[in-house]
Structure 1
Amino acid sequence: MTQELARTRTDQPVPRTTNWWRDAVIYQVYVRSFADGDGDGIGDLPGARARLPHLAELGVDAVWLTPFYGSPQADGGYDVADYRVVDPLFGNLADAQALVYEAHRLGLRVIVDIVPNHTSDQHAWFRAALAGGEERARYHFRPGRGAEGELPPNDWESVFGGPAWTRTADGDWYLHLFAAEQPDLNWEHPAVHKEFESILRFWLDLGVDGFRIDVAHGMIKADGMPDIGRREQAKMIGAQVLPFFDQDGVHEIHRSWRRLLDSYDGERIGVAEAWAPSAERLALYVRPDELHQAFNFQFLTCAWDASAMRQVIDSSLAATTSVGATTTWVLSNHDVVRHTTRYGGGEQGLRRARAAALLTLALPGSAYVYQGEELGLPEVDLPDSVRQDPAFFRGDGQEGLRDGCRVPLPWSGDSAPYGFGRGGSWLPQPDGWKALSVAAQSGEPGSTLELYRSAITLRKQLTGLGDGEMEWLESPVGTLVFRRSGVVCTLNALADAVELPTPGRLALSSVELTPAADVVRLPAESCAWWTV
């Protein structure tokens, strides 16, 4: 670390109450699409720093930044070549320090991505491994099957499609559960453990408040790497047991990281991006001696259906409560179709998305907001000619259409790039986004942005929201009604209005609502909060 960085470095993360993460609202910044500070059409750290006041005004507690490390960008920065530098595409180390400092000044904590399952194929270790060095043992190299080793070592498939193995010039094969440019690390090797402990300390010393752990379920592979015996394995993730995901051995890694996090002041946290076959398996990642949070993908993938939502909510709360943790609620992220579109698109999709936002922010635990969902942004249907998702070019794994949720944000102005930066945007923005910009929605009654601002503010003011108990109340089929201390949340998931006894005094609604003294007519696909 340079002398200049040492002088400007913050000594402590921003102070907050104990166990701040249990009911935090955390905002995900997909760095390349958030804000462009240097005019090259790609979002960067200086751009993100300049827009932090938007997050402070939104009322969130923390910001999570996607990878900005040294990378060939084969998979949007999730192929890391150097974990201790900032890629010139996004700025430099001083920019990272300045962002952390400014976030703390505004009362925001900073969580950064860490990518421990794999490196870039341009990482110094892997280049040495290809050259036959001892570093080869730090990855998964295996001889092939067949008479001359011409077949992959097993039948594992890449999440991005095709075999999970690539053959090298000397005839061996190496494992990559994602792109071929992302070779999997061998976490049975002590050097891998030692290196990542050093990497975590580097960023903790710089002042970050925690890590979102990419593929937290993937670092350990089953002994012998057995065949699966089925194709389309990417469709099994999170639904069935796989020999390369959610192996019990990952938990010892997370325990060691928890000890490291706890050795620092300021309540630094670890957040697992973990796909598990059940809520009970997912809860193992947040036991008291492991990580602090795990993304609740069961909730994210749940259909717009009151009964299904209640089932996911109940199972999620039961599982995390059994280990003393709280649940996270996630509607969108940089890997999935935006929920405004998933819920039907158009006016209906937006109406449902607004209702889902209030539902999410009323549930016990921590909520994540993906950049742009506070604007009601839809998925963008991009032409194939501009797509950059590596899965798109492999074709038989993930759907390969993640670019549509990564289109740069509209901040202001009448036409693209809508204040994103002075040099255009790396993915094209739709012509009709003028009315969806931050500037257009700020101060506009009824806008999605103002709904989020009001909801997050009320969440902090109303004593019944955030961490704590909830109680389901009787309600008609197709609706959800629950009480949180002095607050009642009502959700109507139906396409028609429903009448209920007025639960109390209206605090906030996703649609215009005028309750009567005794009976309230809940509009279709809406959610409201009431104080009692």
Structure 2
Amino acid sequence: MENQHWWSRAVVYQIYPKSFQDSNGDGIGDLPGIIQRLDYLAKLGVDIIWLNPIYASPQVDNGYDISDYHAIDPAFGTMDDFKKLVELAHQKGIKIVMDLVVNHTSDQHNWFIESKRSTNNRYRDFYIWRDADSEHAPNNWGSYFSGSAWQYDPQTKQSYLHLFAPEQPDLNWENSLVRQEVYQMMNWWSELGVDGFRMDVISLISKPAGLPDAPKSDNSQYGNPETMVANGPRVHEFLQEMHQAVMDHHQMVTVGETPGVTTKEAQKYANLNNRELNMVFQFEHMSLDGNPNPQLGKWYDQKVKLSLLRENLSKWQTELAGQAWNSLYWNNHDQPRAVSRFGDDSTETYREKSAKMLATILHFQQGTPYIYEGEEIGMTNYPFQDLSDYNDLESINAYHQLVDQAHLLDGKTMLKYLAFHSRDNARTPMQWDDTTHAGFTTGQPWLPVNPNYSQLNVQQALADPNSIFYYYQRLIQLRHELPVITNGQYALIAGNLEDPDVYAYTRDDGQQKLWIIANFTKQTLQRDFSIPKAATRLISNYDDDQLITLRPYEAKVYQQIY
């Protein structure tokens, strides 16, 4: 099935507003700061900006705890600033996508403040309350952020569900009034000019009837809630209802962050017939480098094997082809920096070559690519040394749970794991130039700037015609120009199925064929993929071509027009 939707040829740029550009010297990025950098994004060539949450929030989870869906957090600016951002972005041909966080609210949201007052309050059923006592939770579910997923309220002698922090109570989507409030809010933002929504953990909104216990890992105190709530019994019904109430009335793009999704489920969420969402964010390739010990989850410091990564990415390419649409990404605000995690940041040469190699592999696949702020200049993980260096609630809680409480790891090992995987790696300020605090702020930044900013910054990238930035710019241009990238059939090149070091695949739409070849190592390799003489080199991260020789982290794409 050929995909003609405009967003299938688009490229998204994700902005973490708190870390992008500060305009007033308070150390926190803001909307006027984003406005200052619109020309930069237009130069890169992106079609869509996705903003992480900018709503009013106590900031317990960096804005994913929303206290007012209709207000801009003062730290980011005003509603007038937001309207100006939308207007100016649209003038440059860039659309704006908002984060939609409706699995839960902040405990400071008026709905929850009212809900907590009494068991017969009209807002009580906006959230998930169950009988309990201070010693016994309603079930064994654990929180994604460690500890129990239940918080006891002694006043009403019940507990409320929070899959994330206790300050993030889960909404009760079984209540039709909750759903109508959400749809009205979405329509309100759409009428302000918002072009779409990225829906946070949207696959978790439908909980199973009776809230049964979840299976536990060996010696684990809590059950894994994702096994119970991901792709819940009514989630597709709810999203189809949302589509009728909101998406049918606006030209917009929607992407669902879907923990626990499978390719089969993705075909329901993001079916090309378009009755739910336009595309999914899935996490399978993000979990391949987790710890072999399931009790430790993602906390580890070993890189993924290419064979596992290639197998997983290929599965999503082939099983969604003609059926549904995927999001393509290496990193975001919840993941460490791609070049440190999947590439090689050990030297300037390897950082540049491996960053371009990773971009090549991703941007020639079928789906909508997402670029996370700083990825286009090859920003790296931060050299964290101590627990006090971290701001991220997930990282801090995990340290205390695994080291101090469960005694599964010693502190030194856990700090190594945090340094590799913590979400704070992605949240350090954008590196604009080599002035104080990398040009991000004139004040004290909310998170420290990576000390490599004096050599690694936007100013330097724009001055170098061979920089990672201009490589990304070219990849975006090619996606806009070549229909084969959107619609071509994906296939691994014969002989690449078991290769431990090279990822090689083709895209073919019957009018032209592309060969995409990438060396994932710092070794020089010899590989002959029998590229036809009629094929020409389309793009590469090396200036010349040595045909069957693959230099360290070399990536190259050949094009044959039939």
Could you state the TM-score of these two structures normalised by the residue count of structure 2? 0.84
Deviation, 1:209, is 0.7
Deviation, 1:20, is 1.2
SS in 1 for 2:180: helix
1:316 aligned residue: 316
1:253 aligned residue: 238
One-letter code aligned to 1:142: R
1:105 aligned residue: 91
State yes or no: 1:168 paired with 2:171: no
SS in 1 for 2:111: helix
State yes or no: 1:466 paired with 2:468: no
Deviation, 1:37, is 1.6
2:472 aligned residue: 452
Rounded Cα–Cα distance in structure 1 between residues aligned with 2:308 and 2:136:
43
Rounded Cα–Cα distance in structure 2 between residues aligned with 1:70 and 1:372:
25
1:385 aligned residue: 388
User: Which deviates more, 158-167 or 441-450?
Assistant: 441-450
Instruction: Find 1:121's aligned residue among 107, 128, 133.
Output: 107
- Note the alpha carbon deviations across 1:99-149, whole angstroms, 9 max, x for none: 1111111111110001110000000011111111221111011111xxx56
Deviation, 1:468, is 3.2
State yes or no: 1:497 paired with 2:525: yes
Task: State the number of aligned residues.
Answer: 504
Could you state the TM-score of these two structures normalised by the residue count of structure 1? 0.89
Answer yes or no: is the 8 Å Cα contact 1:159–1:233 preserved in 2: no
Correspondences of 1:242-281 after superposition (within 5 Å): 242-265=227-250, 267-281=251-265
Rounded Cα–Cα distance in structure 2 between residues aligned with 1:254 and 1:25:
24
Instruction: Find 1:509's aligned residue among 533, 540, 543.
Output: 540
State yes or no: 1:529 paired with 2:514: no
Deviation, 1:77, is 0.5
Answer yes or no: is the 8 Å Cα contact 1:481–1:490 preserved in 2: yes
2:410 aligned residue: none
Rounded Cα–Cα distance in structure 2 between residues aligned with 1:151 and 1:312:
40
Gaps of 5+ in 1: 1-16
Rounded Cα–Cα distance in structure 2 between residues aligned with 1:156 and 1:98:
43
SS in 2 for 1:417: helix
Answer yes or no: is the 8 Å Cα contact 2:134–2:152 preserved in 1: no
Answer yes or no: is the 8 Å Cα contact 1:261–1:268 preserved in 2: no
SS in 1 for 2:455: helix
Rounded Cα–Cα distance in structure 1 between residues aligned with 2:389 and 2:77:
24
Deviation, 1:88, is 0.4
1:364 aligned residue: 366
Deviation, 1:49, is 1.4
User: Which deviates more, 271-280 or 48-57?
Assistant: 271-280
- Note the alpha carbon deviations across 1:277-319, whole angstroms, 9 max, x for none: 5222233211231100101322344565443333223321233
- Note the alpha carbon deviations across 1:426-485, whole angstroms, 9 max, x for none: 111122212211111103033211211122123323343233323433345343131343
2:189 aligned residue: 203
Rounded Cα–Cα distance in structure 2 between residues aligned with 1:187 and 1:158:
19
User: Which deviates more, 452-461 or 494-503?
Assistant: 494-503
1:224 aligned residue: 210
Answer yes or no: is the 8 Å Cα contact 2:285–2:312 preserved in 1: yes
SS in 2 for 1:363: coil
User: Which deviates more, 187-196 or 466-475?
Assistant: 466-475
One-letter code aligned to 2:464: E
Answer yes or no: is the 8 Å Cα contact 1:297–1:330 preserved in 2: no
One-letter code aligned to 2:265: R
Answer yes or no: is the 8 Å Cα contact 1:506–1:528 preserved in 2: yes
SS in 2 for 1:459: helix
Correspondences of 1:45-444 after superposition (within 5 Å): 45-132=31-118, 133-144=121-132, 150-170=135-155, 171-231=157-217, 242-265=227-250, 267-287=251-271, 288=273, 289-302=275-288, 305-321=305-321, 324-343=323-342, 344-347=344-347, 348=350, 351-382=353-384, 383-395=386-398, 396=401, 401-412=422-433, 414-444=434-464
Answer yes or no: is the 8 Å Cα contact 2:26–2:444 preserved in 1: yes
Deviation, 1:384, is 2.6
Answer yes or no: is the 8 Å Cα contact 1:67–1:112 preserved in 2: yes
2:294 aligned residue: none
Rounded Cα–Cα distance in structure 2 between residues aligned with 1:166 and 1:393:
19
One-letter code aligned to 1:521: T
